[in-house]
Amino acid sequence: MIIGGVAAGASAAARLRRMDEEAEIVMFERGQDISFANCGLPYYVGGVIAKKNNLLVQTPRAMSKRFAIDVRVLTEVQEIIPTEKRIVAHDFGSGEKYSESYDYLVLCPGAAPVIPDIPGINRPNVYTVRNIPDSEKIKAHVEVSDVQNVVIIGAGFIGMEMAEMMQVRELNVTVVEASPQILGVLDPEMASIVEKYVTSQGVKFITGDVAVALEGDPAVNKVILKSGIEIPADLVILGIGVKPETWLAVQAGLEIGETGGIKVNQYLQTSDPFIYAAGDAIEVNDYVTGNATLVPMAGPANRQGWIVANNIAGRKIEYPGSQGTGIIKLMDMVVAVTGRNERSLQRWGIDYLTCHVHPNSHATYYPGASQMTIKLIFSPEGKILGAQIVGYDNVDKAIDAFATAIRARMTVYDLQDLELAYAPPFSSAKTPVNLAGYAAANILEGMVEPVRWENVDALVKAGALLVDVRTDKEHQKMPVEGSVNMPLDELRDNLGQISEDQEILAFCQVGLRSYVANRILRQKGFKVKNISGGYKMYPK
């Protein structure tokens, strides 16, 4: 018996049939669709994906015929009785409730949208985005009603994708996010780059504020924030996040983990050895740190379903954990992550270092190159802990290399040695991944000591000298208050202007020229630090 028929459940069912032709497999799905591409829902709402059927990887009829699986849609399993190895299901179509016995049960209920308990949340023009019927309702509302102002509550992946799609439809979009930044998987300085770009495309952001009421009757016409701000709204979309759907597991007496997900062992068995669980509802080990975490993503869910099927069929396979690799397109910009961010490492008390580089997507002498910003997070021993990239081209290629490096337990020194594909239209001789490895290794080897912009003011007040090694023209066009301009190519001729007792904080546009300046000054006996990422990371 498989409860849930989307990513993990459908993957488990299909793999189990391929492993065991004789097994009786029954799959319950309380919705009307199975195996649909829920990651594509925002693009269907925005009209980028034209037909609903394009989101269907499998239909109940097609899956039943190909894999000889008893697929029961619009049927909710409402009770599990582990002592009797039995479930109770409710067929919404007929209204019938009935019981079925199992040898093994696979729980794949997924995650439910977080819905805040605020006045007006149940109004007819307030929507979540979980399944195809949800997206059909939003799409119909936009196309049939006179919608001009859209308020999206939550700036995670779904919220941001919905913001893009509403902007594509030329609507007025305001995104409200409770935390101080958008896209919580990113660190603040990386999220700031994204927010500035998306704002330039016409989307408004209000961060550090929360909705406390949705006013209007019968439909919402304005959103009231805690700060007192009132936002006109013809449509409200909730993208606050998701939480594991565990009520059925709790009812069955299964153990729930510290994160709120269903607790499983390395074989994805729950506290009952005859009940497995997979997908967004389970607690997994973070692959980087080993800590318990939740990773509600399609890739891990599909893999987990496959592993569960193998284990039920007698082929023991362990699940090594998830690292949270993700990517999102926002207009022309691409944002990608893998591994841990600073906030999670701080929460878990793990030491780390960071570096920022701004390589081009391919050789600059070949037309069409664009710049990306890469943040690499690594341990004091060089182990890669995480990577974040914001850019336009080849971001997916670079993040996949970092994700693979993390999975292979590689170090920043290994990144230097990677022999990656290069030709002028595709990359550079030193690829973006190589360059991040070189920058990180320079820090570990003491070739350069980085400092972050947020620490510069305090260091200057303590007597440090802020030195801009860009050209005079750059210095005048993009000034940094309190900085002294000493262009790199003239630096050796001006060393007499610097006291050997004064700490120097050097920066340029992206950090490369200031690194060269650091090497010059260090070897001349000066105390110097390099501002990580250069002016590109300056909090303007």
Given a contact cutoff of 8 angstroms between Cβ atoms, the answer to whether 129 and 158 are in contact is yes
508 catalytic per annotation: no
Bond from prior residue into 232 cis (ω within 30 degrees of 0): no
- Tokens for 528? 């110097």
- Tokens for 327? 């990517």
Nearest to 531 by CA among 487, 522, 517, 197: 517
What region does 118 belong to: left with phi over 0, alpha with psi -120 to 50, or beta?
Answer: beta
In sequence order, which residues have a C-beta less than 8 Å from that of residue 293 and are 6 or more positions away? 259, 283, 284, 285, 286, 322, 324
In sequence order, which residues have a C-beta less than 8 Å from that of residue 333 and are 6 or more positions away? 194, 197, 198, 390, 391, 392
> What's phi and psi for 292, nearest 5 deg?
-70, 140
Nearest to 520 by CA among 474, 486, 488: 488
CB count within 10 Å of CB 342 equals 20
User: How large is the C-alpha radius of gyration of the chain?
Assistant: 26
* DSSP three-state, residue 179: coil
Nearest to 16 by CA among 307, 280, 281: 307
Give, rounded to a whole angstrom, the gap between the first and last alpha carbons of the chain.
Answer: 56
Tell me which amino acid residue 30 is: R
Q: How far apart are CA 6 and CA 17, in angstroms?
A: 16
What region does 10 belong to: left with phi over 0, alpha with psi -120 to 50, or beta?
Answer: alpha
Given a contact cutoff of 8 angstroms between Cβ atoms, the answer to whether 104 and 25 are in contact is no
> What's phi and psi for 382, nearest 5 deg?
100, 0
Q: What is the 3-state secondary structure (H, E, C) of 244-290?
A: ECCHHHHHCCCCECCCCCEECCCCCECCCCCEEECCCCEEEEECCCC
Q: How far apart are CA 333 and CA 411, in angstroms?
A: 28
Q: How far apart are CA 212 and CA 189, in angstroms?
A: 28
Catalytic: which of 39, 108, 355, 508?
Answer: 39
- Tokens for 512? 């490369």
Q: How far apart are CA 88 and CA 85, in angstroms?
A: 11
106 DSSP β-pair partners? 2, 276
Q: How far apart are CA 73 and CA 93, in angstroms?
A: 9
Helix or strand holding residue 500 (H, E): none
Catalytic residues: 39
